[in-house]
Structure 1
């Protein structure tokens, strides 16, 4: 028979309830605090902590470990777990704080009047049904390189956990019935976890966006499953200090410190774009976290003492609120503040996040956890009735009561008005859509000069060059009719101005385009006879340049064509390496030239809030920069 494990702490997106024992694993609280700090730092300063997104995997592992431990305890004596009570406790922990964030943050979006968050209605639908991850996949949202981040994008992880809470108790009962021994059950869960991790590794493609793998419940469910396997392994009960040799105790304590150091190191060395991250890195991180949790059952170990520090415990207990509040408040602040003051936006919003999380914990989360929905709601109703009576009777010093009542009425009304007014697309998305329409119309109606047959390979180019008049050969100047441009959404945003600066230019730009796709795309254009004498490549915003890519580009276009490489400008960690590679290629080839957008972009005054995409003035600067480079050839 499987022995239960004591549910000693609340899961990261779950928490205390009436069935929880008084003893609490304070070390797991501290581990939760580290997880939420990592996620927040990753969102605030992604270049400083490129692997901070792994804090979500740490949350997942904690949830699997603690939820499964509680379920095993409830299955003592082969009893069927009280699923109704289990799901009710999860609802008490998750729903109230989430509803509070949805309503208040949606109402606060009025502060960004003129730039209301887009797609709020379907984001609300995903949040309320805990299907945000699948909603974002269906809408083509990218977690790592989206044009503009969703207001409630972070709710995807809550959806994955809630889907686990709904399905896992039933699966666990089934597995426990088939695999009756604890060791067999643990091995069975590990096999499922390995299959989940393998599906992520197998599905990873460096040339495609990885958000589908990251958002997917199955492909990203291995952390929850590994934590569950750890809970089964610990189901024998609390480990006693007695009978353990000093050497074994020292080994456990040293392993705890080593694992903690490895987890912290992973936050710095496993970026969200690395193949190693998806092909085993995240899974190994969750394995290490699970082993650490299994050793934290004894309160006297070094790891337990370190992780049970008061500040880490405080963060861990409020981690759910911190996670919920930090993202929409950050997005709102970055919208309100100008692009040049994004650091100030982050610094201003941090204390607001902690204040909101603390108030949510004290006013909403704790009362409902302690007294349940009915008693808490009835208490709130009595309080509201009393304040209403105060105002009605005109009692002195009733300002606080009036303010409370106004907030209870106005905040939901403001939230409803924002939901109704929320556009389907953001301003930047609308700008890119209009630019794409303009490019499509330009492609359908080519200028008369473009009807001349273009060179399709090096031999044709050489033959046509020999037919040029002596004056044209001496001139050696190019116009837009001689230029083929390949780029990403930055070029797409600038394309209307590029068409004005270089009439007749052929632009092939799209959202999310990657630099490693350039050789294949240029090969298609060359085969179709659309590759002109000057080739412009404006890529690198969405991913690093892999070895040999730039050499392949030169090989495809041939040795006689001029190649213009536009440097990238974005607050992303790979940009420096991309630009270094572009400049090194230009230095080694006389027919390759740099168009230094990275140097010009910081001087543009109308960049989008992501500090990547230019507005109309920035697009004009982008187009002028390219036009000047073409004229100098």
Structure 2
């Protein structure tokens, strides 16, 4: 039954048609994005759809209670929210940690911190305080998706108190609409101010203060609906307004899903706010009779997904991380699609089971009654329909999962494999750079050769011999630093300068610094872009110009799950065109062929991968020498694995 006013009597069932459809769209969009960003680049805006729906629905419930009783029963409100949220959350946390024991230890890095954040509704602020990044991380963050649940749960805790204050202090419902709309705008402005182009946007994205505009947009719509602005009327003008709203909302969300990207500045300077407004328009289109597209929005499959959207959102990220860790495969290969299908099936199955056997009983009967019923079933009180064996099996499985989860937390590593590799390789990097400085000093402090003009003259051809290892500099980010052991194995006397989180905007200054120090040799391997891709293609060109046409340069492609990977690799190929001294190092192709050479984060090389990295560079220098007519050492070959001592 459609309820057309926020102030109908409690005897009437309260359900706003269409909201489950918006929840379904939101969770499926997020799921597609997390399977792989290329499937739906803007899928993460599903979180903002959830925010608008939550802000609208919770405020509408509060308005109905206030209109009916003249007060808000805070205790009952919070108990209802606890029944709705906590049981499923606790089950996901316990089972996910227990299941992660089957995979890489990297799955459990920081798991105690993550668990505390989940159970105290503070994941977003704990991760901000820890310096975590939503966009760049060196290990799978098992409960990364809980940041948005924390924002919503903080809203559930604080908004009822503020609602009471607003109802008393702000006379007139139009004024309340204006207040909520102003709060939404201020939150959006704060996000825009906190984001700096090219810098990590985690603080702006995770912050409750800077990411509450969707919640406030929903609040404003709820106040407007309660204000009796003719939303329920079945006039021609209102029907036209609804049709216009549903078309504008669908078009707006479709544009955001296709065009908004997690690394784009516009995303945080209006894009997410626009997605929230589009969602509000869709909700408005369903408020009242004769709502457009209602048969579609209310179809059984859509409602099924929407009603279980909370569980699907909870389960999907841990399921994807654990299953992909157990069975890594090249993206979009047949095996990869099979792995994703398994993860999605587990997600939907777990969400459906949770809704039926955990969430529904507790929401219907409460914590005490549910516990009493479970205890009676476990003890076998002889009541009709009691199944003590099934209850005891369930209790045993639960106890085992809790013990395994506790063991998972107790044995979680302090560092990820990537972080440990970087730390272990610090000595190698320091020694390689010290040797390079000694060689520069023995030459009188000058690099060999000095960089000539930015580009070669037309028709010039220069032979680039396969370089000696002492004539090579590796310059880059964490891919270089984690690969140091493999690099030094393949090129024992090479200089290796790799530091995590470096970006392309730092590369030109690093080249010039090495030139000034006399440590810019005849051959250079350049590997940036893992963090943020190539925001400015001119940065790549400037680096190649600074290196000059007389140095052999290997420009390494990058690999990862981010939306910018393909664009960055295309930029490298474009920059290398017309430069006889530059060749592309096909790291992306090598990893795509065998993703098992990566660590659990799906980006950095493992033991086999770091030697493969060295081999990719060897192959690139070989191909450059062959292409340019340079000399190649007799008996040159690539032997997989570490070199014999």
> Would you call these one fold, judging by a TM-score over 0.5?
yes
Aligned with 1:572: secondary structure?
Answer: coil
Is 1:479 the counterpart of 2:468 in the alignment?
yes
In structure 1, distance between residues paired with 2:204 and 2:87: 29
The TM-score, its normalising length taken from structure 2, stands at 0.86
In structure 2, distance between residues paired with 1:454 and 1:535: 20
In structure 1, distance between residues paired with 2:161 and 2:128: 26
Change (3 A) 1:590 1:65: same
2:5 and 2:232 in contact (8 A); partners too: no
Instruction: Quote the residue 1:12 is aligned against.
Output: none
Where do 1:296-311 residues align within 5 Å?
296-311=286-301
Deviations 1:2-60 (A, max 9, x none): xx96299xxxxxxxxx9795131130111111111111111113211111111011001
Deviations 1:207-249 (A, max 9, x none): 222222211111111111111111111112595765x532541
> Displacement, 1:319?
0.7
Instruction: Quote the residue 1:577 is aligned against.
Output: 567
Aligned with 2:533: secondary structure?
Answer: coil
Q: Give the paired residue count.
A: 604
Change (3 A) 1:474 1:492: closer
1:515 and 1:540 in contact (8 A); partners too: yes
Instruction: Quote the residue 1:136 is aligned against.
Output: 127
1:197 and 1:220 in contact (8 A); partners too: yes
2:591 and 2:597 in contact (8 A); partners too: no
Query: Which stretches in structure 2 are left out of the alignment for 5+ residues?
Result: 453-461, 631-645
2:62 and 2:72 in contact (8 A); partners too: yes
Where do 1:567-606 residues align within 5 Å?
567-604=557-594, 605-606=596-597
Change (3 A) 1:167 1:380: same
Change (3 A) 1:481 1:78: farther
Instruction: Quote the residue 1:31 is aligned against.
Output: 22
Where do 1:440-479 residues align within 5 Å?
440-443=430-433, 448-452=438-442, 478-479=467-468
2:84 and 2:363 in contact (8 A); partners too: yes
In structure 2, distance between residues paired with 1:563 and 1:19: 73
Which one of the candidate residues 378, 383, 386 is aligned to 1:384?
Answer: 378
1:455 and 1:533 in contact (8 A); partners too: no
Aligned with 1:537: secondary structure?
Answer: strand
> Displacement, 1:446?
5.8
Instruction: Quote the residue 1:286 is aligned against.
Output: 276
Between stretches 498-507 and 399-408, larger displacement belongs to 399-408
Aligned with 1:273: secondary structure?
Answer: coil
Question: Over aligned residues, Cα RMSD in angstroms?
Answer: 3.1
Deviations 1:576-599 (A, max 9, x none): 222222112212223332222223
Change (3 A) 1:175 1:401: closer
Where do 1:28-177 residues align within 5 Å?
28-76=19-67, 79-112=70-103, 117-177=108-168
Where do 1:225-624 residues align within 5 Å?
225-237=216-228, 239=230, 242=233, 244-340=234-330, 341-386=335-380, 400-443=390-433, 448-452=438-442, 478-545=467-534, 546-558=536-548, 560-604=550-594, 605-624=596-615
Which one of the candidate residues 174, 177, 180 is aligned to 1:189?
Answer: 180
In structure 1, distance between residues paired with 2:472 and 2:444: 11
Deviations 1:519-542 (A, max 9, x none): 243344444554334332112233
In structure 2, distance between residues paired with 1:514 and 1:20: 60
Deviations 1:456-475 (A, max 9, x none): 6899667xxxxxxxxxx999
2:422 and 2:481 in contact (8 A); partners too: yes
The TM-score, its normalising length taken from structure 1, stands at 0.87
In structure 1, distance between residues paired with 2:173 and 2:12: 23
Between stretches 563-572 and 41-50, larger displacement belongs to 563-572
Aligned with 1:339: secondary structure?
Answer: coil
Change (3 A) 1:424 1:237: farther
In structure 1, distance between residues paired with 2:258 and 2:85: 30
Change (3 A) 1:298 1:461: closer
> Displacement, 1:79?
4.1
Change (3 A) 1:403 1:617: same
> Displacement, 1:484?
2.7
> Displacement, 1:338?
3.5
Query: Which stretches in structure 1 are left out of the alignment for 5+ residues?
Result: 9-17, 391-396, 463-472
1:447 and 1:504 in contact (8 A); partners too: no
2:231 and 2:238 in contact (8 A); partners too: no
Between stretches 370-379 and 115-124, larger displacement belongs to 115-124
Change (3 A) 1:615 1:459: closer
Change (3 A) 1:5 1:298: closer
In structure 1, distance between residues paired with 2:184 and 2:429: 47
Between stretches 350-359 and 479-488, larger displacement belongs to 479-488
> Displacement, 1:372?
1.5
